[in-house]
């Protein structure tokens, strides 16, 4: 479903836009308006997609609460949707865990890990499915193959030999997308998340065809901060290019975000350049003398997965600050007293920013999808925006962090320039399931001396759970901006000298 605008995307967009409108117009006591919004989004008496108009509105209510950073409720709770919403008025309000939530009554209780014979079965004479089954789980009735679920061990052999492709394995889409195996079923067959395993990558959210999974947002809090006397700077992730369609070009980006009320924008690719310089230095100094290999650190889902599943090699994750944190720290150093909102593709960045040691650097995190709702609420017409100077501060390599392979490529280019005698071997993986395999091999010693890059989302940041545009289209747009960058590499960045001005504590990675 990625890259296809569906009814789920449309509903989420409407919810984000209405929450943004509510925040932009908020006056004390006005949050009762929340109770009316579900009727605006789902009007009339007849449901559009589900069995009941009341169910559709109930789901919208929970999406609204999550969009405002509130906890999701169960079907057994009876209270107005606005209950507890006054807490959202505080700009400093942070998420109460969990970040990723399942709206249980929106879950379809999809069958999971079931081998199923479809109507495409022709009841053929050869019956290869029966021949290869090691447990005699297949029989035939009325010319149709039947599987005994009590005998089936789900080996998949029958699937591979059926000449008609009539046998399939059904998997719950959210569980299939989860590289941490964190999703199972509750007592009613609905999806359930094991938060001890979850790293908040958001792939379950992006792949649920019923829109039953959603993450908490800070749309309301960001806008309240914008409306205050404190300047709020938008730190824009490299993968922003192309996310809001062809009319919002890089030259219009600054004025677009100013139309939302932000003081200004800063490219997080600047922080990516600084991160590149640090990782290049660390790799040369530490591998293999101190560490068998070094893994990049900018993807929080990958880094968290490594620490959860492979604590023995956690020290091999780079200690360089992530581009988001570095950029936030730089903005606050240049503009004391301001607030910083990271705008990016990633649910896991919300979890990273909520850590106590990072809250002073990054105040808010919004996804591109959530910001699109803000543009909708403010009726921002990208075609009517004036062009500003293009953002030339960051290098092409820094901007390339947004696609798989981009981080490692930037570090290798930097090493080749600054340490020309050093050869660098690289291995990379995208998607947490593949990242897990990469680290298992690294733990076994297969990648000693290597630089490892891991991306939690297949395709890289352009495929994050909070993206708007199709992955291929976004990757192509980002590739063009990388190519058009004034400076190609991090060591040419206009901001590389900043590293020399930062105090040692400014470069220490928070625990």
**pLDDT value at position 2?**
67
CATH of the domain at 140: 3.30.70.20
| 48 and 101 inside one domain | yes
Assess if residue 338 is contained within a domain.
Answer: no
Is the domain of 76 the same as that of 159?
Answer: no
Query: Does the structure show a pLDDT above 80 at 508?
Result: no
Residue 122 lies in a domain: yes
Domain membership of residue 497 (yes or no) is no
Residues 62 and 131 in one domain: no
* 31/163 same-domain check: no
> Considering the domain boundaries, does residue 344 fall inside one?
no
User: Is 29 in the same domain as 166?
Assistant: no
Do 78 and 183 reside in the same domain of the chain?
yes
Q: What is the pLDDT of residue 501?
A: 62
pLDDT digits (tens, 9 = 90+) for 281-298: 999 999 999 999 999 999
Query: What is the total count of domains within the chain?
Result: 2
Please say whether the beta carbons of 15 and 63 come within 8 A.
yes
Is position 335 within any domain?
A: no
- CA nearest 365: which of 335, 391, 345? 345
Judged by average pLDDT, the poorest of 43-57, 88-102, 140-154 is 88-102
What's residue 388's pLDDT? 87
Q: What angle do CA 321, 324, 329 make, to 5 degrees?
A: 75
> Among 220, 247, 278, where does a domain finish?
220
Boundary of a domain, candidates 160, 191, 220: 220
pLDDT of residue 407: 97
Q: Which of 232, 264, 244, 210 is nearest to 367 (CA)?
A: 244
Residue 14 lies inside a defined structural domain of this protein: no
Whether residue 141 is found in the same domain as residue 94: no
Q: C-alpha angle 286/318/279, rounded to 5°?
A: 70
Same domain? For 150 and 209 the reply is no
149 with 29, same domain?
no
- What does the pLDDT read at residue 496? 67
Summarize the confidence of residues 42-67 as an average pLDDT.
94
Mean pLDDT of the chain, nearest integer: 93
Give the structural domain span for 80: 25-109+178-220
- What lies within 8 Å, CB to CB, of 140 at 6+ separation is 123, 127, 130, 146
The answer to whether residues 95 and 197 belong to one domain is: yes
Query: Do 149 and 189 have their domain in common?
Result: no
What is the model's pLDDT at position 83?
Answer: 87
Residue position matching structure tokens 């999809």: 110
User: Are residues 93 and 29 located together in one domain of the fold?
Assistant: yes
User: In the prediction, which pLDDT does 33 show?
Assistant: 86
Residue 505 predicted with pLDDT over 70: no
Q: How confident is the model at residue 506 (pLDDT cuts 50, 70, 90)?
A: low
Using CB atoms within 10 Å of the CB of residue 427, give its burial: 0 to 12 exposed, 13 to 18 middle, 19+ buried: middle
Burial class (CB in 10 A: 0-12, 13-18, 19+), 130: middle
């Amino acid at each position: 479903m990625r890259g296809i605008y569906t009814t789920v995307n449309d509903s989420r967009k409407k919810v984000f836009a209405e929450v943004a409108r509510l925040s932009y117009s908020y006056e004390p006591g006005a949050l009762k308006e929340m109770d009316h919004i579900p009727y605006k989004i789902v009007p009339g008496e007849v449901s559009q997609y589900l069995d009941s108009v009341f169910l559709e509105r109930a789901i919208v209510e929970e999406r609204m609460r999550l969009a405002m950073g509130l906890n999701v409720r169960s079907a057994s709770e009876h209270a107005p949707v606005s209950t507890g919403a006054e807490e959202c008025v505080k700009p400093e309000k942070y998420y109460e865990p969990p970040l990723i939530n399942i709206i249980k009554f929106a879950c379809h209780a999809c069958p999971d890990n079931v081998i199923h014979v479809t109507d495409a079965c022709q009841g053929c004479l050869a019956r290869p499915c029966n021949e290869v089954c090691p447990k005699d789980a297949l029989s035939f009735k009325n010319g149709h193959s039947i599987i005994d679920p009590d005998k089936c061990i789900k080996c998949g052999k029958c699937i591979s030999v059926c000449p008609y492709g009539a046998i399939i394995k059904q998997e719950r889409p959210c569980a299939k997308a989860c590289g941490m195996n964190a999703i199972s079923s509750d007592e009613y067959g609905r999806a359930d998340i094991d938060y001890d395993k979850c790293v908040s990558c958001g792939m379950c959210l992006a792949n649920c065809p019923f829109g039953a999974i959603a993450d908490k947002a800070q749309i309301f809090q960001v806008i309240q901060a914008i409306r205050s006397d404190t300047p709020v700077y938008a730190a824009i992730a490299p993968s922003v290019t192309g996310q809001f369609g062809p009319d919002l070009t890089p030259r219009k980006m600054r004025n677009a975000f100013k139309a939302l009320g932000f003081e200004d924008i800063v490219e997080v690719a600047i922080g990516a350049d600084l991160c590149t310089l640090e990782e290049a230095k660390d790799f040369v100094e530490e591998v293999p003398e101190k560490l068998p290999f070094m893994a990049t650190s900018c993807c929080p889902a990958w880094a968290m997965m490594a620490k959860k599943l492979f604590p023995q090699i956690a020290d091999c994750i780079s200690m360089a600050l992530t581009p988001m944190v570095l950029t936030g720290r730089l903005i606050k150093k240049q503009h004391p007293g301001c607030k910083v909102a990271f705008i990016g593709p990633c649910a896991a960045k919300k979890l990273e920013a909520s850590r106590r040691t990072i809250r002073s650097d990054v105040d808010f995190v919004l996804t591109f999808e959530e910001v699109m709702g803000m543009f909708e609420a403010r009726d921002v017409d990208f075609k009517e925006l004036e062009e500003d100077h293009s953002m030339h501060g960051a290098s092409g390599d820094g901007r390339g962090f947004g696609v798989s392979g981009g981080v490692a490529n930037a570090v290798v280019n930097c090493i080749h320039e600054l340490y020309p005698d050093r050869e660098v071997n690289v291995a990379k993986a995208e998607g947490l399931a593949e990242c897990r395999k990469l680290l298992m091999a690294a733990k076994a010693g297969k990648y000693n001396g290597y630089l490892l890059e891991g991306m939690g989302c297949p395709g890289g940041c352009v495929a994050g759970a909070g993206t708007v545009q199709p992955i291929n289209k976004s990757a192509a747009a980002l590739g063009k901006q990388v190519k058009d960058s004034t400076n190609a590499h991090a060591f040419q960045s206009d901001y590389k000298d900043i590293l020399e001005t930062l105090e040692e504590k400014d470069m220490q990675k928070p625990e």
